[in-house]
Amino acid sequence: MQENFEDTPDGGTPTDGDQNTDVRELADVPAIEVISRAAVMLMSSAAEKLGLSDPDPESSPHLDLDEARRVITALAGLVTASVEYLGPHAGPIREGLQALQRAFREASSHPDEPGKGPGEKYTGPVH
């Protein structure tokens, strides 16, 4: 299986007619890179679903706390299960997760009890 991990030099993405210089076999990609990219994708998705990409998150058309809860919980599970492999990436990824958990709490009209928020069964309570 091939995975595109970089854009083409012209800023586009490779097509079948392009040289495969920017495409690597997934088997050749180190596990830490796969895990880190998955974490970043989950963080980005959670931020979008919390409306954090909009100037006024509370009125964002993307705000969806149910979806954000699912993505944050998945991220917490991934981070908890892979923290020993993340090396220097562990700190920033954990900080990003905690920031999303706090943003979720702030966005909720009825915040969860400590330890009951998204992903907190894996990370413990976030304050």
Task: Work out the burial of residue 60: count CB atoms within 10 Å of its CB; fewer than 13 is exposed, 13-18 middle, 19 or more buried.
Answer: middle
pLDDT score, position 26: 87
Q: Does the residue 9 lie in any domain? A: no
Q: Does the residue 16 lie in any domain? A: no
Report if pTM > 0.95: no
Q: Does the residue 96 lie in any domain? A: yes
pLDDT score, position 8: 47
pLDDT score, position 59: 83
Q: Which domain does 66 fall in, by range?
A: 26-107
pLDDT score, position 56: 86
pLDDT score, position 12: 53
Q: Does the residue 118 lie in any domain? A: no
pLDDT score, position 60: 85
* Residues of the chain where predicted confidence (pLDDT) is lower than 70: 1-22
Q: Does the residue 57 lie in any domain? A: yes
Q: Does the residue 76 lie in any domain? A: yes
- Identify the DSSP state of 83: H
Q: Does the residue 90 lie in any domain? A: yes
Total number of domains constituting the chain: 1
Q: Does the residue 36 lie in any domain? A: yes
